[in-house]
Structure 1
Amino acid sequence: MVSVETIRSRLIGVPHGFLGRRGGVSQGVCAGLNVGLGSGDERAAIAENRRRAVAAVAPGAALVTVHQVHSAIAVHAAAPWPDDARPHADAMVTDRPGLALGILTADCAPALLADAEAGVIGAAHAGWKGALGGVIEATIVAMEKIGAARERIAAAIGPAIARRSYEVDEAFARRFAEADPDNERFFAPGRAGRHQFDLEAYVAARLAAAGVTRVEAMGLDTYADPDRFFSYRRATHSGEADYGRQISLIALPG
């Protein structure tokens, strides 16, 4: 059996990990460690993959995920909720040991945050829409409400689509420029009338602007590495009918 690959940050001082597709039981286009309830994968395979993911990062913890909608909504997790009652949100925070906060991605940027001194953690799903809308800042504010201090927070950004793989149109680039002219720095020229967007750098900049001084970006491109990561854009370009989702986890020690 291939072991679950767990990528860790040097900054986060609590159990955490960014997982890819290695070490799972799913087959077909979702082959590997697919944890996406929104995929057409077999439910039993998804459940086993989720169990393996938690066991690799925070053995014995209860997994908590949300129904991600590309929003800037952050919720407080005080206890697990049923999978069919997940709140519509894109970030979670908690101060409760025994909960593993899980963010699902397939090109979007997962961000894990921790104030280890206060015992407060957060996890955010930062696609372009959520990042532009303020999901990072909402996560930090929610963490502060339960005892964190932003100057103590360390953050890590996991595998996401890289600029060289993320071509966008003029309207996309203009939307960011209208929000802040300084956002031009996150775009590089692409083909005629197109641009390449650096989502990871943009999320890192939002963290820094919010006062988080310790930020580590993993620099791993989900699109370019099909053996390690799921990618919605790659699946779309390949004409595949479905795609898997990887998970990023963070928990407080029990």
Structure 2
Amino acid sequence: MAKPVEVNRAEVLAGIPHGFLGRRGGVSTGVVAGLNVGLGSGDEEAAVAENRKRAAAAVLPGAPIVACYQIHSPDCVTVGEPWSDAERPQADALVTDRPGLLLGIVTADCTPVLFADREAGVIGAAHAGWKGAIGGVTDRTIEAMEALGARRSAISAAIGPTIAQASYEVDEGFRERFFSADSANERFFEAGKPDHWQFDLPAYVAARLAGAGIGQVATLGLDTYAVPDRFYSFRRATHRGEPAYGRQMSLIGLP
């Protein structure tokens, strides 16, 4: 019997079809075994297609997944109708007010953020790696939602599975980049081994969201690196010397 897809949900998005998925419930095998949805992961196309089908069915059955070609940018696109995988625009966030679509973000340590303004009927999804986060991808997402009629104070945002501070070692140059942008960012770094720091990416993203005036912000507190049977992790795969790594998907839609 096939294992069910594991769907992690956020209370702040209750009533909105959404889910932060992991690797449980898929058909991929080998080092990417499970629910790998990465088109560029080197996995079999048929397996990835089946995994994406299962992912959609677990969140909003019958709805097509709309995703972008992620490039670690702050760019956000507004979705009016679905497109094919070959037509994916280069961006790292999506928003829509159209029912029956599933906005999808793919991650493997970076921070997935799902947004919803229930009153306005506007949703969003953002891929916030450190480059996109410091570049303002969440700010661009909020602005795009506002253009569709959302209000900041009415938007709820949830941060899904991402690499946690205990698992995210960075060097002094990395820390300096954030400190130069804003000296208050020092609070997201804890001293590690000599000339290295532990960076709290989800806390940084949450602070950006709160600073933007979002009504509700919640973090699931799930560390992709630390739980290999539940989540894919680029950094863990790299540390293990694995030849490939899988990707998980976060989805949100309007019924």
TM-score by length of 1: 0.99
Q: 2:226 aligned to 207, 224, 227, which one?
A: 224
Q: 1:43 aligned to 38, 42, 45, which one?
A: 45
Aligned-residue offset at 1:213: 2.8
Which digits, 9 at most, give the CA deviation of each residue in 1:9-57, with x for residues without a partner?
A: 0011310000000000000011000000011000000000000000000
Residue 3 of structure 1 pairs with residue 4 of structure 2: yes
Gaps of 5+ in 2: none
Distance 2:201 2:215 in 1: 19
2:56 is matched with which residue? 54
1:197 is matched with which residue? 199
1:154 is matched with which residue? 156
Distance 2:99 2:253 in 1: 7
Distance 1:22 1:82 in 2: 25
Distance 1:150 1:58 in 2: 25
Which digits, 9 at most, give the CA deviation of each residue in 1:222-243, with x for residues without a partner?
A: 0000000000000000001110
2:17 is matched with which residue? 15
Distance 1:14 1:78 in 2: 19
Q: Secondary structure at the match of 2:249?
A: strand
Aligned-residue offset at 1:80: 0.7
Runs of 4+ in 1 over 4 A off after TM superposition: none
Distance 2:149 2:31 in 1: 42
Distance 1:223 1:172 in 2: 19
How many aligned positions are there?
253
Gaps of 5+ in 1: none
Q: Secondary structure at the match of 2:11?
A: coil
2:26 is matched with which residue? 24
Q: Secondary structure at the match of 1:11?
A: helix
TM-score by length of 2: 0.99
Which digits, 9 at most, give the CA deviation of each residue in 1:107-154, with x for residues without a partner?
A: 000000000110000000000000000000000000000111111000
Distance 2:99 2:239 in 1: 41
Residue 100 of structure 1 pairs with residue 106 of structure 2: no
Distance 2:178 2:40 in 1: 29
Residue 75 of structure 1 pairs with residue 74 of structure 2: no
Q: Percent identity?
A: 66
Distance 2:103 2:84 in 1: 14
Aligned-residue offset at 1:85: 1.1
Distance 1:249 1:190 in 2: 34
2:217 is matched with which residue? 215
Distance 2:254 2:149 in 1: 14
What CA RMSD, in Å, does the superposition of the two structures yield over aligned residues?
0.5
